[in-house]
Structure 1
Amino acid sequence: MEVKRIATNVSHFLILSLAINVFTSSTPKTTATAPVSYTNYRAFVKTACNATTYPMMCYNSLSSYATAIKANPIKLCTTALSLNVKVAKEASSVVSKLLKKTQKPYGGGGSIQRPETLILRDCLDEIKDTIDELKQATVEMKNISRSSGDKGERVTNARTFLSSALTDETTCTDGFDEMTKVNADTKKKVKKVILNLSRTTSNALALVTALRY
């Protein structure tokens, strides 16, 4: 009888163990909380963004890249610059489309230019310069980890390019402030995209400036 009772207990134990294993394996892993490392990476991005001019804007744009950035300040800056270039290209597209609308064709094969045509053309040139400067700043940042040269000099170069880009963006809308007879809707659209661009560049500059080399 004792042997039979022991056998029964062992059988119950095996059945219980099997049930636990089945339950555990069938429970979705996605219900678990986020890994500590991912949480820490987001915290790193948030802390870095708190030192920028527009911290919420900075965090909203970069937090989704936290896993790729990890806690690498160079990666943080290069990611911010890549997004900066994307915003600049979007601004260029908006201004380019507005410029085309200001040039009304007429019978002689030429065009009638509106007062804001020249402003938009100059603005477009400024944005193109901005894109080039942002790309050069990106190259400087990427070369920090590739080169054994003066890292401090590369950071300084990146800051210079970003500062120049910020100046070009500000210059882009100066013409609208100096000329009163311009299309109000066009002026509003350009100012909106340039404001977004300048804030993005300002944040990128702050992140690069925070580097210590």
Structure 2
Amino acid sequence: MQTHLTLILFTLFLYLFFTGSAAAHDEAQDLVRSSCIHARYPKLCLRTLSNYSGPAKSPLDIAEAALRVSLAHARRASEYLGASKGGARSSSLSKLQRAALSDCEELISDSVDELQRSLEELKHLRQETFRWQMSNALTWVSAALTDGDTCLDGNVGPEVNRRVADVARVTSNALYLINRLGESGKGKPKPKLNAQPRSKK
């Protein structure tokens, strides 16, 4: 009898667990869709953030996830550029192209730093400095976009252009989501409640 009851309780636990997980997943996907619908590249936004494995329970989570995606793409591009500059490919380039490739590597490396700084800002938002911190985050992501555009202006070849353009697209979406977060104020931390004074005896 007790074994039967245990089995029933275990089955009920599994049902509630998977039902709750499915509901949370659907809620997260709805948040991603509503966040991405007006992004510059909505399909890319939806695809990259739907595949993101981190939490997505708030607009702040979405903005952080978008920055993490952008940072990952920028790091891969930076690694590719570093390998290209020192690899056999560079020997077939003209002096002007090698200079452009070197400049591009430096620019994308700067983008990585700027995206990292923006992510750190979002991870440590404070109620009293929220607007200032959001302004910082937007400035750094905008700078990362400018770096990518400058890189694309150089004659660095189609493969480099493809990778840098990919970084630019996900970064543009991240910029939109951070701006959306700042305008809505939904990522603003709640003020901390003052500790209750001790009663005098």
User: TM-score range with shorter-chain normalisation?
Assistant: 0.7 to 0.9
CA distance in 1, matches of 2:140, 2:32: 23
Q: How much does 1:113 deviate?
A: 5.7
Query: Which consecutive unaligned segments of at least 5 residues does structure 2 have?
Result: 186-201
- Secondary structure of residue in 2 paired with 1:192: helix
> What residue number does 1:109 align with?
none
Q: How much does 1:102 deviate?
A: 4.4
**Residues 84 and 90, structure 2, Cα contact 8 Å, conserved in 1:** no
**Residues 130 and 166, structure 1, Cα contact 8 Å, conserved in 2:** yes
CA distance in 1, matches of 2:146, 2:53: 29
- Secondary structure of residue in 2 paired with 1:68: coil
CA distance in 2, matches of 1:67, 1:157: 24
1:174 paired to 2:153: yes
- Secondary structure of residue in 2 paired with 1:210: helix
The one-letter code matched in structure 1 to 2:75 is K
Q: CA RMSD in A?
A: 3.2
Q: Please point out which of 124, 130, 135 is paired with 1:151.
A: 130
Q: Please point out which of 17, 20, 35 is paired with 1:48.
A: 35
> What residue number does 2:82 align with?
96
The one-letter code matched in structure 2 to 1:172 is C
Q: How much does 1:38 deviate?
A: 1.7
- Cα distance, 1:38–1:97 mapped onto 2, change above 3 Å: same
**Residues 103 and 114, structure 1, Cα contact 8 Å, conserved in 2:** no
**Residues 32 and 50, structure 2, Cα contact 8 Å, conserved in 1:** yes
Q: How much does 1:45 deviate?
A: 0.7
Q: How much does 1:64 deviate?
A: 3.1
Query: Which consecutive unaligned segments of at least 5 residues does structure 1 have?
Result: 1-13, 105-111, 177-185
Q: Deviations over 1:56-78 (max 9, x none)?
A: 111111113477112x1111111
Q: How much does 1:41 deviate?
A: 1.3
The one-letter code matched in structure 2 to 1:49 is C
Structure showing greater radius of gyration is 1
- Cα distance, 1:131–1:84 mapped onto 2, change above 3 Å: same
**Residues 159 and 208, structure 1, Cα contact 8 Å, conserved in 2:** yes
What pairs up with 1:134-149 in 2 under 5 angstroms?
Answer: 134-144=115-125, 147-149=126-128
**Residues 81 and 204, structure 1, Cα contact 8 Å, conserved in 2:** yes
1:165 paired to 2:144: yes
- Cα distance, 1:48–1:66 mapped onto 2, change above 3 Å: farther
The one-letter code matched in structure 1 to 2:140 is F
The one-letter code matched in structure 2 to 1:36 is A
> What residue number does 1:180 align with?
none
Q: Deviations over 1:8-45 (max 9, x none)?
A: xxxxxx9xxx8xx88x95xx96xx77622321111011
> What residue number does 1:84 align with?
70
Q: Please point out which of 171, 174, 180 is paired with 1:201.
A: 171
CA distance in 2, matches of 1:174, 1:206: 23
Q: How much does 1:194 deviate?
A: 0.7
State the identity %: 27
The one-letter code matched in structure 2 to 1:116 is Q
1:123 paired to 2:109: no
The one-letter code matched in structure 2 to 1:84 is S
